Amino acid sequence: MEETKDKSGKSQVVERTCLILRELGRHGPRGARLLDLTEGTGLSRPTVHRILATLTAEQFVERTNGRRYRLSSIMYELGLNAPSPVGDPARLRPIVQALADRCGDTVYLAMRTGDFSHYLLRCEGAYPIRTHVVSANQTLHLVSGHSGRSLLASMPEDEAEDVILRATQDRKLFGEATPDSLRDEVERVRENGYGWARDVTFVGVAGLTVPVPNARGSAYLAMSISSIPQRMTQERAMDILPELKATAAEIAGMISGD
């Protein structure tokens, strides 16, 4: 039977398959129940079940012992050959550096890679006392840095909790925080759209962080401004927060416009 297409010529089967794959990606390694997928996509249960059966047979999706579905490792292998959504980070440096020049502090741009934050850029302001706790091209666990707080807050809560639970195997990853205090921080970022904290990643360091908006789903980039606590007070953090958010939005616009 000929495949159904809409007026634009798009294949409905492919379109529905893409909906399911996106929803599976949103649920992360824990996977999603059939009910989660039908509610998340708006498709009927028989349709979702039929497409999942094909994706599983073709090994793009796997079924867990808990009767959930998740993306398989083949999707990871395919992703290795896909271009970075950021492209060349150097083209974003002028935007990040401009913010560092205005606020005078150290500004970071980080990208999520699994349970980790990979720091793409570090730009310095003119303030003489600097907090060099992470370098460009360095990778930290999501629970170990300010940017990681934004990225955890951008995930579904159960996915973020899975990341935190895996990290509890090495308590040193939490720095001066604890798993519970980190959960509280992440919840505040989730509620407020930004995070501010001091003496939690390292003693003597304060940070302000926001996720970079992603119109297609969870944020995979985050920005943070780092300074000493005496300078990065909560009052000053609120003063410079609009500029940090504006810069994050500008970066989001550049990436989505590619």
42-69 per-position pLDDT tens digit: 999 999 999 999 999 999 999 998 889 9
Query: 2 pLDDT exceeds 80?
Result: no
> What phi and psi, each to the nearest 5 degrees, are found at residue 148?
-60, -30
DSSP class per residue in 67-123: S-EEE-HHHHHHHHTSPPSS--GGGGHHHHHHHHHHH-SEEEEEEEETTEEEEEEEE
Averaged pLDDT of the chain: 91
Structural domains of the chain, with CATH: 12-80 (1.10.10.10), 89-256 (3.30.450.40)
Residue 19 DSSP SS3: helix
| Model pLDDT for residues 117-151, shown as the tens digit of each residue | 999 999 999 999 887 778 999 999 999 999 999 99
CA distances 210 to 21, 69, 182, 192, 242, Å, are 27, 31, 16, 10, 10
